[in-house]
Amino acid sequence: MSASRQVTKAVNDVLDLAPRHGEVSLIKLVAAVSEDRARPIEIAMAELPPGVTGQWRQYGDHDVFLIQRGLPTWDRTLAHELGHLVLGHYGIPVAEAARELAEVADDGLIGYMLNQRTGCMGPSGEDAEQEAEDFAALLLYRLGRLPSDRSSIVQVRLGEAFG
């Protein structure tokens, strides 16, 4: 795995936001990022067009990660969309005023780029897709190795630094 420095830093920054007590799950990390940005992030399962796994929509005052309903690798897709967000990429802008219209005319959003490899639908380019993939892989890898309390997280990180 050769994630860029920027991706590695983004993963560290997100893990730094992890709750201090209890198990650290991906859902909790998304909530922590949301709190840190003082901007709500909603996660919703949705019937997305065939081949689409996930989509990040930016509304006026909140963000929505849509995940294809029934997707077995939903956590990978969720981590991928979170990666786009924390790496400063752009989601699909949806003006608050046009929200209802957009929900009705969902097919219109297909006009945005669908990445054939990741199934991610959004206006970001191939480089951004790769970064989001690297972020998701590294974040899930690190999450999978995390013990369930934060003091242990610090130990893991120290271990990585000195090991």
Question: Which residues sit at the interface with Zn ion, rule CB under 5 A?
Answer: 120, 129, 132
The two most distant CA atoms of the chain are separated, in Å, by 54
Of the pair 48, 153, the CB lying nearest Zn ion is at 48
Contact 121, 115 (CB under 8 A): yes
Of the pair 42, 126, the CB lying nearest Zn ion is at 126
Of the pair 24, 91, the CB lying nearest Zn ion is at 91
Say which amino acid occupies 86.
V
Question: Least distance in Å: CB of 112 to Zn ion?
Answer: 11
Question: Least distance in Å: CB of 85 to Zn ion?
Answer: 10
Contact 54, 66 (CB under 8 A): yes
Of the pair 32, 132, the CB lying nearest Zn ion is at 132
| DSSP code, position 138 | H
Q: List all residues 6 or more positions away from 84 whose beta carbon is below 8 Å from its beta carbon.
A: 56, 90, 91, 120, 122, 124, 128, 132
Question: Least distance in Å: CB of 136 to Zn ion?
Answer: 9
Question: Least distance in Å: CB of 122 to Zn ion?
Answer: 6
